[in-house]
A = this chain, B = another copy of it.
Amino acid sequence: MARLVMKFGGTSVATIERIRNVARHVKREVEAGYQVAVVVSAMSGKTNELVGWVNEASKLYDPREYDAVVASGEQVTSGLLAVTLQNMGLPARSWQGWQIPISTDDAHGSARILEIDGTAVTARLEAGEVAVIAGFQGIHLPSGRITTLGRGGSDTSAVAVAAAIGAERCDIYTDVDGVYTTDPRMVPKAKRLKRVAFEEMLEMASLGAKVLQVRSVELAMVHKVRTFVRSSFEDADAPHMGTAEAAGTLICDEEEIMANQMEAEVVTGIAFARDEAQVSIRRVADKPGIAAAVFGPLADAHINVDMIVQNVSADGFTDITFTVPSADFERAKAALEQARAAIGYETLEGEGDVVKVSVIGIGMRSHAGVAAKAFQALAAKGINIRAITTSEIKISILIDAAYTELAVRTLHSLYGLDS
């Protein structure tokens, strides 16, 4: 019998009434014939309360104790949902990370899953019992200590469990009903995507379409876990909530997308990342080791560098442009001022209020001229492009923040994404 993982976040389990709605979603899938494992987050607000206490107790807390405290939130929800399911006549039991076990490394507070032993859980699934698994947590087996996966880690738990039990699909119930061609709050004509390739989703997630944690998408891609993003607030018993017709976005392999449409769309979505700052270094010697000289001091200052553009040099000198989170802008400039002698640049320039707009689509691989079209369209609207980077399935363009909406709407129309 096919297996299904269903994941519910904090707002979906915030009250017993909402937990009942979750249980109805689960019941529907059990009655459709699935063996179901449910992964739950802590009740909304609980994790913040627990984290607050730890911080009040000690600013410099032991991350192992932080994990022991914070993991309790998911423990509570797993027990409550198991009881609620039983009350509806469904055999169910809760599973803590250490009971399965979900084995992780010892990077407490942001542990990585090493292995999930699916044996015990699948035996109970086969016996007809719903497994209610506490998300976000695991165990470091050598020490026997509780670990947590970091914020949003329940998505990662769900995908990892799906891989471990060989689930047909991992359904992520969220407060949005899927992944859109761009942010619908900015572009009302944005459409929900029926399917998105793992690679595309990775680009979108890291670029700001915060539907799924990046790590969970990476994991889904590696283990080929078909992941369906859907809304938890719709009536659980509505007929359209059955799998085939349900509103949502399936994140899947490129092949599955190709099998369902004659040709991939050239462009799948337009993402944008605010709160970026641009730093440019003019006339640095174009010689081996120069990149290390520039980015070493930034790494030492724990500043994340995103876009990096370096042009072919003209006369033995080149310009380097890159972006950093705008919160780190001043620190980044200070670090480079300090390293001026070691780097040997002529001028240091920066712009604190820029935005990165990205055009994403696996179809780009087989289509020439996608980028050129974008540059022309932006030029026609008088939008100045500060920097460009491209990958196989993405074009990222850095522009002044004031033009964000105009650029996103222009590109959204340009590639035929308007509904």
Taking beta carbons and an 8 Å cutoff, which residues of A are in contact with B? 16, 19-20, 50, 53-54, 56-58, 60-62, 64-69, 71-73, 75-76, 78-80, 82-84, 86-87, 93-94, 96, 98-99, 144-146
Contacts and interface: CB of A to CB of B under 8 A. Distances in A.
The interface residues of chain A, by DSSP majority, are classed as helix
Contacts of A61: 83, 86-87
A83 B57 contact: yes
A203 B62 CA distance: 44
Nearest to A74: B72
A94 B54 CA distance: 13
A61 B419 CA distance: 49
A16 B83 contact: no
Nearest to A91: B62
Contact of A56 (B16, B58, B96): B16
Contacts of A146: 96
B65 A94 contact: yes
6 contacts: A16-B56, A19-B57, A54-B80, A65-B79, A66-B79, A98-B98
A57 B84 contact: yes
Say how many copies of this protein the assembly contains. 2
Given A57-B83, A71-B75, 17 more contacts: A19-B57, A20-B57, A53-B80, A54-B79, A57-B80, A61-B83, A61-B86, A62-B82, A65-B94, A68-B94, A68-B96, A69-B75, A69-B76, A72-B72, A75-B75, A99-B144, A99-B145
Contacts of A69: 75-76, 79-80, 83
Given A53-B16, A57-B16, A86 B68 contact: no
Q: Which of A82, A83, A94, A96 has the most CB of B within 10 A?
A: A83
Contacts of A54: 79-80, 83
Contact of A58 (B57, B67, B86, B144): B86
B66 A83 contact: yes
B72 A86 contact: no
A120 to B, nearest CB: 8
Q: Which of A62, A144, A145 has the most CB of B within 10 A?
A: A62
Contacts of A73: 72
Q: Which of A61, A73, A76, A146 has the most CB of B within 10 A?
A: A76
